Structures are given as C-alpha cells and as structure tokens.
Amino acid sequence: MKPTVKAYPHKRFFIEMFTRDIALEDCILDLVDNSVDAILRTRAVNIEEEVLASGMGKTLPKRERAQVRVDYGDSRFRISDNCGGITYDDAVNEVFCFGHSSDAPKGRLGVYGIGLKRAIFKIGNKIQVESNTPDSAFRVDIDVEDWAKKEDRLSDWTFPITKLG
C-alpha cells in the first residue's frame, strides 16, 4: 500500500472557519428555518399555494397552529416548537452530518444542511438538542470544547445520542 499524508481538518480549525462568517442572529434564523422545514415535511403544507389562496380570500383547511418559541437569558438560549420534530433515525443518520446526503429531499429552506451545526458551534459550548415525534424521541448532548479536544479526528466526528422513546 502506498504511504499517504494526513489532510483532514483539526476540529478547532473546522469550528472557527465554519462559524466565522455568520452572525449570531443568522444562526437563530437558521434554527427557525428548521422549524418551518419541519412543518413543510410533516404537515404536507405547500406555502406558496396557501399564501396565494389566503390572499385571494379562499378558505384554508384548519390545522393545528404551528408555534416556534425563542427564549434566552444571560447564559442560556432555547428554541422550541411544535412543528413535527426530528426522528431518532434521522438524527443518527442525517441531521448531525455536515451537509446533505446526495439523496436528501429537495424543496427545503435549508440548502446546504449546515445551519443546525453552525448554530451549535456559534451559540454556545454546552448544547442539548432534544426532539420528539409521534414515533420516537432523543436527546443529543454536545460539549463543544470537549468534542474539539478529541483529536483522533476522523474517527470521532460523532456526538452521543440518548434514545428517549
């Protein structure tokens, strides 16, 4: 086997480059975008059709009202919603990956699949992502500084997940 050189990023470099050109406000908007994407995905909503229909005075089907709530304090930030959630399987296989897989569905607000991860690294050091769907629930706890210190690089670009239901 031919010798190779290592060319993968150090995690600290990755985090700094990944977040350097985005404002904190934009990270929060990316998280709200994720909630809107969940509505589109789980409730089969076509925003364009519904906005046009409501503008023409047409009656729209009754739906549970979607809510996105943003709370913050000196040392805490929280966003919560009732927009559909993330399944356990999607969390394990897709959501925490950097970028979308080649077969990811089109028509989402999030184009690149990086908003959640950029927000995680920009907003704070100790992050908890919890989600509930009708079929599953999970929690991912991320200590960004601890994760970045694990320099075995490619073998540990993972976060621990706890299945809740």
Residue 9: alpha-carbon gap to chain centroid: 22
Spans of all domains in the chain: 11-55+65-163
Angle subtended at Cα 101 by Cα 49 and Cα 81, rounded to the nearest 5 degrees: 50
- Burial letters 15-35, b for 16+ CB under 10 A, else e: beebbeebeeeebbebbbbbb
Q: pLDDT tens digit string along 64-104?
A: 778 899 999 988 899 999 988 899 999 999 888 877 666 65
CA 136 to chain centre: 17
| Tens-digit pLDDT profile for residues 47-69 | 777 777 766 777 766 777 788 99
Give pTM, 2 decimals.
0.77
